Each structure stands twice: as C-alpha cells, then as structure tokens.
Amino acid sequence: MVAVRTDDASSLWKHFRELRTDETRNRLIERYLHIVRFNAERVASKLPMEVELDDLISAGIFGLMNAIDAFDPARGIKFETYCVQRIRGAMLDELRAMDWVPRLVRTRVHLLDSASRELEAELGRGPSHAELARRLSLNEEEFQKVLRDATTVVVNSLSRAQGDSNSNRELESVDILPDRNGVDPVEEMLKNDLKDLITRGLSRAERLVILLYYYENLTMKEIGSTLALSESRVSQMHTSVMNRLKEHLCAQQRDLALSA
C-alpha cells in the first residue's frame, strides 16, 4: 500500500484521483470536516431549537462526500470554495425533507401575515377577513383555504430547553405544559370568598338552599325533597335570600363609592 501523508492535501488528492480508495476518501473527509461543522452551526443559528445540529452535520458530511467525488482540480477552484455549496445544499435538502409543511403553504401564510400587519397599520385596528381577502385578491373560498393553512398544527418537541430566570434548574417544554384538568388555586380562592360572602348571615336551611341550587345545580323540587320542605317553601326562601343579598351588595357598593 502506498503511504499517504495525512497533513499534505495535494498528496491526498493525488492519491485519491489515482486509486479512489475508501481510506483516502475518509482522510479527505476528516481533513475538511471542520467546514461541515462551521456551516452546520451557521445554518442552525437561524433555525428553531428542535432542529438538531447533529442532523445537519450528518447531512453535510454526505454533501462533502459528493463534493470529494465530483471535484475536478483542473478547473482551478479551491476545494474549500467548491465544497461549501454542496454541503449547504445537502443540509437544505435535509431540512426540506424534515419539513412536512409545503413551501407554497408557508409562502401564503407569510403573505397573509404581511397583509394583516399592513392593514392594521393603515386602519388602526385589526382587519376583517373581508378586508384581508380584498388585499390579497382572493375570493372567499381561496381565503378560507389560506386561513386553514395558517392555522396548521405546529409540531413542537417536548424536550426543547426552556429558560427559567428564577432557577438554575434546566427545564424542558414537557415540564411547563399547562394542566388543563388542574384546578387554578386563585380561581378556587375567589369562589370560596364569594361563597362566604353570599352565605354570611344566613340560617342553616337558607345556606343549604343556596349551595344546593347554585353549586350543586339541584332543582327547587330536588332541594325540597332533600330538606323535607315543599317546593314553594324552597322558592320563598330563595327569593328572600336573593333580596337580602341584593340589598347587602348595594350597601357595599355605596360604601365603596363614598370611600373612593
């Protein structure tokens, strides 16, 4: 086997052009790998965090391999200049393959956003759908399709890093997902305060009527059966409590107005 100096680019290229061995190709890849990483970092800096740098580097290496196979030194072009276009092209091809939203859709959404901003600046308010459609020269059906495209579901990674200024702990998106079935403690506190205000000063029977009617959603008849009272008696108690509560709230409103 012919010895090849790994620190001599011209020797590597000469050996590769003559024999095209995998060993020499691999040495050339190692020699120019820094170009792949440099371009991958530049591309990644303009992309969402969900795009992995390693994926771009892997795609760039394939571009580098293609550039090595196709490079012709007789053209008088430095390989470092020639390979960049192939490397970046391979990365962009990988990004297009990863992106499930067609380019036409993204273009239309961009036009919709631009038209919306322009009209808002001109009108001093948010534009209506009809105004946006006229600005984009679209009929109703075409405009509705653009709207559907604009609201296409976006896929986000749950492992995406999230900053937390109040903690040194590293968070991911999954850590801060809202629990839509959870109870808001502030809302519960306000509800309890309102309940206390409404039932303050009421007898036990009156409190039960209000709580069963407004919080348990029972009918007057069901409340009467529960408390061993007639439906008319429950209705009378409810009316009496509502009138007293109204007077109480009106008095509080007057007091607040006087103290303001």
The pLDDT of residue 153: 46
pLDDT tens readout for residues 195-248 = 777 777 788 888 888 889 988 889 999 999 988 899 999 999 999 988 888 887
Residue 174 has pLDDT above 70, yes or no: no
Q: How confident is the model at residue 175 (pLDDT cuts 50, 70, 90)?
A: low
CATH for 185-259, options being 1.10.1760.20, 3.40.50.150, 3.40.50.970, 1.20.140.160: 1.20.140.160
pLDDT tens readout for residues 134-155 = 888 888 888 888 777 666 544 5
The pLDDT of residue 136: 87
SS (H, E, C) the chain: CCCCCCCCHHHHHHHHHHHCCHHHHHHHHHHHHHHHHHHHHHHHCCCCCCCCHHHHHHHHHHHHHHHHHHCCHHHCCCHHHHHHHHHHHHHHHHHHHHCCCCHHHHHHHHHHHHHHHHHHHHHCCCCCHHHHHHHCCCCHHHHHHHHHHHCCCCCCCCCCEECCCCCCCCEEHHHHCCCCCCCCHHHHHHHHHHHHHHHCCCCHHHHHHHHHHHHCCCCHHHHHHHHCCCHHHHHHHHHHHHHHHHHHHHHHHHHHHHHC
Same fold, 9-98 and 185-259: no
For the chain, give every domain's residue range. Answer: 9-98, 101-154, 185-259
pLDDT tens readout for residues 28-63 = 999 999 999 999 999 888 776 667 889 999 999 999
d(CA 47, CA 53): 10
CATH for 101-154, options being 3.20.20.70, 1.20.140.160, 3.20.20.150, 2.60.120.380: 1.20.140.160
What type of residue sits at position 38? F
CATH number for the domain running over 9-98: 1.10.1740.10
pLDDT tens readout for residues 3-33 = 444 457 788 888 888 888 888 889 999 999 9
pLDDT tens readout for residues 86-134 = 999 999 888 877 765 566 666 777 788 888 888 888 887 878 888 888 8
